[in-house]
A and B are shown apart, each in its own frame.
Chain A
């Protein structure tokens, strides 16, 4: 169980507090402003965690709805955005479990790329991005969550520790190992690809 974050996790006033107070009173405009403020980061987080852009939008939408519909339970013990990201992480975890059951797919398999479509620079860029997404999929969930929160979402280390409910040293260790594995997957993949041909 991931415990709620404590004030000491950030130690600073929550800049979202006025909007959160308005949203709690049913102010639709405040809800819209908060979604505007965090939609890119929540969708990006969900994308990194579920590995599919269309699914990521669904996960982000569900996370926002869950957050605002349970806003009465938010007591300000962490920043609003930390709490929101926690909900997004758990929504993404649930999505992955459901998808894995439905498709009976093995998550974490080898990278299987089709590079024959590569031609122009735009296509190559798309393929390169796809390789990174697939490499990310091969990471264990705990490492993937940590590197996505840092490198995709840009959260600082204390916020990541609060969002994941683990000590900051664990966050550093997970990011270090996650990036190292990602780099290894990206570096070795072309050789594997070549060996298959």
Chain B
């Protein structure tokens, strides 16, 4: 059942009936209680009767104006293209690499630092710093592989690739 509008307390009862009007307009107002509530209102509101007529007319016009006949072999063509090798950029799959290469990058950084440090100072004098850097690397890896950085973020990153921001703007008059 659709959330029942309160005709006695809403400032504009017609506004409160939008949820019922849109459903009645496309024939999906199935709940008998909602239908009776709407009918009672329509009996005394010419504006809503006109609005309902417009909803029905627009729905019918749209529902009958897009007769889609997919081109022959469309599905087969898509399936073949999906199986075909993707571009080098897609195959590289940089997002996965970004995360999986984290520990490797950390190890390389540590090795580079060790080489640089050994060439400039004695092992003894660098001992304390080495421990600090090793701790930092371990901590960085822990963050990389923590739950917070796991599935949710990977999904979010993937999402960024396929879903663009809704730039439509405009005011939203939530009817509920």
Contacts and interface: CB of A to CB of B under 8 A. Distances in A.
A81 interface: no
Contacts of A166: 172
Contacts of B68: 40-41, 43-44, 47
Contacts of A157: 23, 28
A148 B62 contact: yes
B75 A150 contact: no
Contacts of B44: none
B61 interface: yes
B175 A70 contact: no
Nearest to B21: A176
Contacts of B161: 70, 73
Given A2-B163, A132-B62, A35 B78 contact: yes
B176 to A, nearest CB: 3
A117 interface: no
Size category of the B interface is: 35 or more
Interface string B119-158: 0000000000000000000000000000000010011001
A65 B78 contact: yes
B58 interface: yes
A132 B105 CA distance: 57
A75 B81 CA distance: 23
A44 B69 CA distance: 9
Given A133-B65, A140-B168, A142-B168, A169 B19 contact: yes
Contacts of A132: 61-62, 65
14 contacts: A4-B159, A31-B82, A64-B82, A73-B159, A87-B162, A133-B65, A145-B168, A147-B62, A173-B18, A173-B172, A176-B51, A179-B54, A183-B54, A183-B55
Interface of A: 1-4, 26, 28-29, 31-33, 35-36, 39-41, 43-44, 47-48, 57, 61, 64-70, 72-73, 75, 77, 86-87, 90, 93-94, 129, 132-133, 136, 140-142, 145, 147-148, 150-152, 154, 156-157, 164-170, 172-176, 178-180, 182-184, 186
